[in-house]
Amino acid sequence: MSDNWYCEEVGLNIPELKRITEFFDLYCEDSTINFVNNYPDKKTVYIDFRSVIKFSLGLEQAIINKYSKIEPVLKSALMGAKMIMWSNKDITPKDIELQITNLPPHYKKGIREIRKKDIGKIVCVDGFIKSRSQTRPKILKAAFKCLRCGHINFVTQNSRKLEEPFIGCENETCGKKGPFDIVIEESELTDFQVMKLQEMPDSMIGTKPYDIALEFKGDLTGLIEAGEKVTVIGLVKSRLATTKEGKTCQLETFIDVMSAEKAESDYSECVITPEDKEAIIKLSQREDIRDLIIRSIAPSVYGYEEIKEGIALQLFTGVRKVLPDGTILRGNINVLLVGDPSTAKSQLLRKAVTLSTRGVFASGRNASAAGLTAAVVNDELGEGWTLEGLSLIHI
């Protein structure tokens, strides 16, 4: 590849190939070293987008707006990086997975803001994982053996349906259009997982929440659970929507994930000063601390000390234990509160929600028939059975 071939192909004023190699040596050295040391178990090289902006405005725009074209250029440039050149490992561009991190805030979009103009561009979105599929192998390039001559034909897979050699066997002495038998051992595979990202509850007050499908590949799979809050950076793609009757004229949009970062703990905003710490220690030494905690829960509701004690125990939770025989005792405490109407049940629950940083009040209107925590449902994306987080997971 010449140093100026891709400048016209991408259509932007970006550095020459050797300059992009210098970028990897200068700004991605630690990530490249980690990649080389852990290859082939890990195949990820991280690109901090703040460094890209500092290095070249043209490269920034190429990555954001024309990533599909610039990706092979980046991988070719990375192959010339010192750490890869000096390694004795047989690394090829197809073995490299690039992950973009630290996208600036002005590239962030809401799920409902993604439109046709965003297809082919990199975006950053926030939300929580509504559902996820199991991690399964996916064929990227299928190897087909011609049953007439034995020649192996390779076909890149771009859709959900397996694509066989369209023009027939590549062997010039054969050329037959089958039959073919897929050879898994010689096919190019990757780990694959589908998730559904839904808008955060505080951004959809009074409206129906929007969601979008996420596709995870390689090292990114199996890291996120249903109900977790995440910030996702990825490439917006589309494909023909399909129904039982076949393909339609509509396109379904999804994000090919390049990096995903879990939201910080809800306790990150809780700042404890030295004075607070001193007061907490002083309170812990009081002999009536148990009664004090009970009286502090919904003080406007008179009585119900035993119920308030149960709520306090639930708020503090327990400790997960594993017995010598392998039996697991979970630390989470569940409370069933049953009583006559107008006995302050809802008031007690609402007060408990305000005390918990991850509390949510679920009534009969918004609780799923499948349950409050999670349900195994048949995924509408066609990826089999998935775990879907429900009311008490969407926090």
Kindly list the structural domains of the chain, giving each domain's residue range(s) and its CATH number in brackets, ordered by start. 5-102 (3.30.1640.10), 114-135+192-266 (2.40.50.140), 138-190 (2.20.28.10), 271-355 (no CATH)
Tokens of 44: 């990820």
Collapse the DSSP code of 186 into the 3-class scheme (helix H, G, I; strand E, B; otherwise coil) and give the result: helix
Tokens of 74: 């980046």
Count of residues making up the chain = 395
Q: Which residues contact 25 (CB under 8 A, 6 or more apart)?
A: 32, 81, 82, 83
What is the C-alpha to C-alpha distance for residues 28 and 81, in angstroms, rounded to an integer?
9
> Of residues 303 and 385, which shows the higher confidence score?
303
* Secondary-structure percent of the chain, ordered helix, strand, coil, rounded to 5: 30, 25, 40
Q: How far is CA 284 from CA 120, 294, 316, in A?
A: 57, 14, 14
Q: Per-residue pLDDT averaged across 9-32, rounded?
A: 80
Given a contact cutoff of 8 angstroms between Cβ atoms, the answer to whether 259 and 232 are in contact is yes
| 28-62: pLDDT as tens digits | 989 999 999 988 888 889 999 999 999 988 888 88
Q: What value does the mean pLDDT of the chain take?
A: 81
110-114, 176-180, 268-272, 289-293: least confidently modelled range: 268-272
Which residue in the block uniquely carries the two structure tokens 């808008």?
Answer: 199
> Of residues 202 and 74, which shows the higher confidence score?
74
Which residue in the block uniquely carries the two structure tokens 């690394």?
Answer: 91
> Of residues 121 and 209, which shows the higher confidence score?
121
Q: What is the pTM of this model?
A: 0.69
pLDDT for the residue 124 = 93
User: Is 90 exceeded by the pLDDT of residue 125?
Assistant: yes
Given a contact cutoff of 8 angstroms between Cβ atoms, the answer to whether 225 and 129 are in contact is yes
What is the C-alpha to C-alpha distance for residues 9 and 4, in angstroms, rounded to an integer?
9
Q: Per-residue pLDDT averaged across 354-370, rounded?
A: 58
pLDDT for the residue 18 = 84
Given a contact cutoff of 8 angstroms between Cβ atoms, the answer to whether 199 and 114 are in contact is no
Given a contact cutoff of 8 angstroms between Cβ atoms, the answer to whether 185 and 141 are in contact is no
Q: Which residues contact 326 (CB under 8 A, 6 or more apart)?
A: none
What is the C-alpha to C-alpha distance for residues 155 and 162, in angstroms, rounded to an integer?
9
Collapse the DSSP code of 381 into the 3-class scheme (helix H, G, I; strand E, B; otherwise coil) and give the result: coil
Tokens of 12: 């932007």
- Which residues on adjacent β-strands are paired with residue 101? 48
DSSP for residue 365: T
| Residue 327: Cβ within 10 Å count | 8
Rounded to 5°, angle at Cα 206 from 200 and 208: 65
Given a contact cutoff of 8 angstroms between Cβ atoms, the answer to whether 236 and 119 are in contact is yes
Q: Which one, of 107, 139, 140, 105, lies nearest residue 121 by Cα?
A: 107
pLDDT for the residue 358 = 57
Rounded to 5°, angle at Cα 213 from 121 and 142: 80
| 260-317: pLDDT as tens digits | 988 765 555 567 888 988 998 998 888 888 888 888 888 888 888 888 888 888 888 7
pLDDT for the residue 216 = 93
Which residue in the block uniquely carries the two structure tokens 């990199």?
Answer: 122
Given a contact cutoff of 8 angstroms between Cβ atoms, the answer to whether 127 and 198 are in contact is yes
> Of residues 279 and 209, which shows the higher confidence score?
279
